Amino acid sequence: MTDSHAFLTGRKNDMVALETLLTSIPAIAPEGGGDGETKKADALEKWLKEKGFTKISRYEAPDSRVSSGSRPSIVAEIPGKQNDYAIWVIAHIDVVPVGDLSLWNTDPWKVVEKDGKLYGRGVEDDQQGLCSAVFAALYYLENDITPEHTIKLLFAADEENGSEYGMIWLLNNTNLFNKSDIVIIPDGGDKEGRTIEIAEKNLLWLKVHVKGKQTHGSRPDSGANACLAACDLSVRLHNLEKVFDKKDSLFEPNYSTFQPTKREANVQSINIIPGEDTFYMDCRILPCYKLSDVLAEVEKHCRDVEKEYGVKIDYSTPQKSESPATSADSKAAKILANAIKKTHGIEPEFIGIGGGTVGAELRREGIEAVVWSSLDDQAHQQNEYCIIDNIIRDAETLVEVFKN
């Protein structure tokens, strides 16, 4: 078999060119003021065809908010010798907005190469993983090697805003995945590429609206202070960390977190006691707990605060997600761990994370999914960069994975 390291290092310029192409086409969701992924998906599909991929499928999730009317995800496939399972690598093609442009040293939509790094929005999150997957597959395609099992590359839409038009839509509207499949998601990791994420904390976002009675600052007795009630409630909800208090060394931090975050403006003057107040909580809960049990506690505290302060409280869950872990003894975990050891001589470490990936959606469906990459964790930052050698490094690992 042709040496994969020589093949991949010889394609460095092509990797930079693909990163440059993808970065030049912003793929931002409507929530971030963008028009979705269609133009970027078009360019990627054209590039894949030019490079020799012949089995390409496109899946369009309807979305009337974007000009194309849909949010595309692409699957590129290389048929293997055996069909008892497929090996998937899943990357996402959407990116987050650039934020404060004045904090960027370069144009975020034009790749700049400097000191072995590529700078630009999306170059790491998640185009680095996308490029590693593509060039690992190209190693098989261009060397006319049939992999043991079918290789399937998924370039998904809408990962940055909850995957309603990406992974969730695909799971609900297609039969792409089988429970025997192996899924690798290069969308999180560490500088060495040592850690393999096999579990995620359950995610619960709360939007809490407190309705009291507005009054003058000198007459709290004639009103119902929604801000005061909201502050008390946010502390009570934060203290749920003492109720759901188990520890799990797989995660960092190793406990469940309940954090007040965003707060909406209420009144415009210091001498007005607000009649309405809205705040948000970001809760990351160990997977040993059910969200239904957590929400029962939330409900109890809301009703207690209502009685104490004479207010009305309602709440919603802008996001919630819970999923089981992928076992460290699973086929997916073992195959990836062995590939990392063989290609780079590193002993992998299994971890859990507090953040969310599409891995959670797959695990809920009983599909083995692991998250891994070699990166500096530049996601969503100004002056985002990726290290070119990391693209090559992770592609080498994926070439080894595809031998299984």
Q: Please give the positions annotated as active site.
A: 94, 159
Q: How far apart are CA 283 and CA 320, in angstroms?
A: 9
First to last CA, the chain: 14
Q: How far apart are CA 369 and CA 205, in angstroms?
A: 24
SS3 labels along 203-260: EEEEEEEEECECEECCCHHHCECHHHHHHHHHHHHHHHHHCCCCCCCCCCCCCCEEEE
CA 332 to chain CA mean position, Å = 19
Spatial separation of the C-alpha atoms in residues 333 and 346, rounded to whole Å: 15
HSE toward the beta carbon, residue 168, CA cutoff 13 A: 12
Distances (CA, A) of 50 to 108, 134, 153, 291, 384: 26, 13, 16, 47, 28
Per-residue tokens: 267: 């009144």
- The helix/strand/coil state of 281 is strand
